[in-house]
Chains A and B, each alone.
Chain A
Amino acid sequence: MPDVFVSETKNIEINPPSGHSKPKNIEKYGLHNHNPLSSYCYYPDEIKFVAKDSKEKIILFLRRHPITNVGWILVSILMVLAPMVLDRFPIIAFLPENFQFIAVLGWYLITIAYTFESFLDWFFSVYVITDERIFDVDFVNLIYREISEANIDQIQDVTVAMGGVVRTIFNYGDILLQTASEVPRIEFEAVPHPDQVAKILRGLRVEEEQEKIEGRVR
């Protein structure tokens, strides 16, 4: 019998997979990379996180979008240029030359400290999603850091908050996680592709529930 209708073969764009079964061609989605300064890495290869178990797999590695660094970079440039500008307006000219020299060196010390600490704050404030847990590593300042964690199956609610011109243009936003763990609320601040992150989290929650039903809980 002849076919009544034969559909054409089309290249359908597949969304990034959710869940924790590692897709074979993750490079295709442009979300997997080997850049250590990346803000969004799906299935990172080279990241070692001390708090995870040996059997745990890191699904997603996040940090704040690079555009959030513009503020401190501009301030740092201004701080570097400030002594040259102040040469024209000699406000420390009343000091002897040796004091002026040390004052300028001291200013550059403060500039380096500010720049380096701002970079460290961005670099080490990371969010790690494994197949079992989520981690929020906050580098608040040089003498205070905080690591919060919650099991995937303890996530009760995922809210994506994204608003404003810059966030819409660069596609980043906050993700608020309500959990049943000791830390009732975990916040991923200014992470890229928040919708995809929420989708991956949803997939992981479904998979965790499936594991519970099948009795495969680790």
Chain B
Amino acid sequence: MFLNITTLLIAKIFALIGLGIYVVFALVIVKQVGLMIATIEVGPEFWIKLIAYAHLLFAIFVFVAAIIVL
């Protein structure tokens, strides 16, 4: 096999660290969207919040999937 077990383990750790940082980033998006909506209300705030939360859930899902699958 081209990649041995140790290399894959290191790759897994890096992938999990990256995805963990991404979950934090998704949380920042949710927070920032909330702040902007508090600053200015135009109309479709509900949908923007929904997308921000859906993105956060997707990020958590990928993180958990990476823990299970890798």
Could you tell me which A residues sit within 8 Å of B by CB distance? 36-37, 46-51, 94-96, 98-99, 101-102, 105-106, 109, 112-113, 116-117, 120, 123-124, 126, 128, 137, 139, 142-143, 145, 147
Give B47's nearest chain A residue, CB to CB.
A36
State whether B40 touches A47 (Cβ < 8 A). Answer: yes
Which residues from chain B contact A95 at a C-beta distance below 8 Å? 3
Cα separation A106 to B70 with both chains bound (whole Å)? 13
Whether A106 pairs with B18 at a CB distance below 8 angstroms is: yes
Is A137 a contact of B62 with CB atoms below 8 Å?
A: no
Is the CB–CB distance between B62 and A109 below 8 Å? Answer: yes
CB proximity to A under 8 Å, residues B4-43: 8, 11, 15, 18-19, 22, 25-26, 28-29, 32-33, 35-36, 38-43
Q: Which of A36, A101, A102 has the most CB of B within 10 A?
A: A102
Q: Decide yes or no: A47 and B32 within 8 Å by CB, A94-B2, A99-B8, A109-B62 being known contacts.
A: no
- Contact-residue bracket for chain B: 20 to 34
Closest partner residue, chain B, to A98 (CB atom): B69
Q: Which residues of A have CB within 8 Å of B36?
A: 120, 124, 139, 145
Chain B residues, CB < 8 A from A126: 40, 42
Interface of B is mostly: helix
B residues lining the A interface (CB < 8 Å)? 2-3, 8, 11, 15, 18-19, 22, 25-26, 28-29, 32-33, 35-36, 38-44, 48, 51-52, 55, 58-59, 62, 65-66, 69-70
The 8 Å CB contact of B55, one of A47, A94, A112, A139, is: A112
Q: How far is the CA of A98 from the CA of B8 in the complex (A)?
A: 11
Once A95-B3, A109-B22, A116-B51 are accepted as A-B contacts, the answer to whether A50 and B32 lie under 8 Å apart by CB is no
Please state if A36 and B42 are interface contacts (CB–CB under 8 Å).
Answer: yes
Tell me how far the C-beta of A212 lies from the nearest C-beta in chain B, rounded to whole angstroms: 29
Question: What are 29 A-B pairs with beta-carbon distances under 8 A?
Answer: A37-B44, A46-B41, A46-B42, A47-B41, A48-B41, A50-B40, A99-B8, A99-B11, A99-B15, A101-B69, A102-B69, A102-B70, A105-B62, A106-B15, A106-B19, A106-B22, A106-B62, A113-B25, A116-B52, A117-B29, A120-B36, A123-B42, A124-B36, A124-B39, A124-B40, A137-B40, A139-B36, A142-B25, A147-B39
